[in-house]
Amino acid sequence: MLARVHDAALSGDPAPAQARGLVARSWDRVRAQGVNPDDVHPPGPLDAGQVERRRTGSALAGVLPELRSALTSVAEDARHVMVVTDADGVLLWREGSTAVRHRADALGFTEGADWSESSVGTNAIGTALAEDGPVQIFSAEHFVRSHHVWTCTACPVHDPRTGELLGVVDLSGPAETVHPTTVALVGTAVRLAEAGLWRTHEARLDVLRTIGAPLLARSSGPGLVVDDQGWVAAAAGLSGIDRVAAPVADRVVAVRGLGPCLPEPVPGGWLLRPARGAARMRLSLDLDGRPPRAVVEGTSRWEHPLSTRHAEVLVLLARAGATGLDAAALSQGLYGDRAHLVTVRAEMSRLRRGLGGLLLARPYRIAPEVELDLRGVRESRLVRASSAPGVAALRR
């Protein structure tokens, strides 16, 4: 029945039944992206050096023991392979049944291969990334015909601190091994991994706290000790701040309640104290550049390159003023609906990593002590070309 539904969807003939909503949405996406259902292999895998670099840079490397403990023995016994990908859908680790791994090799389901929807069509990994949720794809629900002999179950992994998408955990095997409880099993493994990520974060902050608290106690005036990502380990004279912009040597960081701070390196992190003779922070947007840039001026001047989406976010926040926008309102302004909350929170996490104290949360807004210079924004190339509904409204 699934095979007939699949054939009808591709030929335009009347279908004997309707595909599941999730599958139908995915088929629509991959057809629009030009994926060929008769392709046998995905594009060539990345070389070993590139895979190793992605592994080293992946936060999921630290929780592999939890994933192996929860899934590898199950995969071996149930004729499955366990796969862990990054947020691009590139396979970084693959373990499990030797026989199934050999069958997977024939499909190009190997380390370094790209299994996003745009590369290989509907599959549990790519569709879990696109839908940002757990997915089970069975047999002819896969878009590419050579995948119809497989069943795959995947669940995305998020950074528990920020909601940022880190990658996907997947169990795949021959179609006859399908089982409904696999979804719950993979979801449980992902929750264990996310808990492990949180414990690692807390442990690192605890170590930094033992260094930072005495430093602040010996200092006069307020200050913070933060890690390399800007998470606060210790504070003096301030409260209610959990994160600032990721510090960079010799670059001023704007901190709510402190103003401009010049980071001082300490073991495992940075000490932030008000810079002497600090001027008021000013933010302007260069939206005609490629890429667009945020320009920050205080005791020094620095530029932060922006993606188009991050530039649109800053335009919307500038327009909202002191009242700011919550995640739902930002989703409406960027996408025209309120359904992209996870994506918005992840984008804001990445943007705050670069601009930190210039941006506040709950609701998202530009800090009141930051002076805004918005000359030329309405007439800029980015605003003229933007398809984001909120930015288009500003243009009109």
Domains of the chain with CATH codes: 2-199 (3.30.450.40), 282-395 (1.10.10.10)
Burial of 69 (0-12, 13-18, 19+ CB in 10 A): exposed
Q: Which residue has the higher pLDDT, 53 or 256?
A: 53
- Kindly write down the DSSP assignment for every residue of 255-294, as one continuous string: ETTTEEE--EEETTEEEE-BPTTPPPPEEEEE-SSSS-EE
Mean pLDDT value across residues 186-194: 95
Res 299: pLDDT: 56
Residue range 72-102, pLDDT digits in tens? 888 888 889 999 999 999 999 999 888 999 9
Indicate whether 213 pLDDT > 70.
yes
Task: Kindly list the distances between the CA atom of residue 73 and the CA atoms of 66, 67, 79, 389, in Å, as whole numbers in the listed order.
Answer: 12, 10, 10, 49
Using 50, 70 and 90 to split pLDDT, how confident is the model at 148? very high
Res 300: pLDDT: 60
Using 50, 70 and 90 to split pLDDT, how confident is the model at 316? very high
Task: Kindly list the distances between the CA atom of residue 75 and the CA atoms of 106, 157, 188, 262, in Å, as whole numbers in the listed order.
Answer: 19, 19, 15, 51
Average pLDDT, the chain: 89
Distance CA 88, CA 45 (A): 13
Mean pLDDT value across residues 245-254: 79
Indicate whether 200 pLDDT > 90.
yes
Res 352: pLDDT: 80
Residue whose token pair is 């994160």: 243
Which of 204, 203, 224, 221 lies closest to 213, judged by CA? 224
Mean pLDDT value across residues 279-302: 80
Mean pLDDT value across residues 121-133: 94
Using 50, 70 and 90 to split pLDDT, how confident is the model at 180? confident
Return the CA Rg of the chain. 24
Res 141: pLDDT: 96
Indicate whether 313 pLDDT > 90.
yes
Is residue 232 within 8 A of residue 225, CB to CB? The reply is yes
Least confident of 54-63, 227-236, 254-263: 254-263
Distance CA 80, CA 178 (A): 10
Indicate whether 369 pLDDT > 80.
no
Res 244: pLDDT: 85
Res 258: pLDDT: 78
User: Left, alpha or beta for 376 (phi > 0: left; psi -120 to 50: alpha)?
Assistant: left
Residue 343 C-alpha from the chain's centroid: 8
Res 122: pLDDT: 96
Burial of 252 (0-12, 13-18, 19+ CB in 10 A): buried
- The half-sphere exposure of 264 on its side-chain side, counting CA atoms within 13 A, is 13
Token pair in block for residue 22: 């999730």
Instruction: Quote the pTM value.
Output: 0.74
Mean pLDDT value across residues 308-321: 92
Mean pLDDT value across residues 183-207: 94
Token pair in block for residue 73: 């023995």
Residue 114 C-alpha from the chain's centroid: 17
Token pair in block for residue 351: 């943007």
DSSP state, residue 299: S
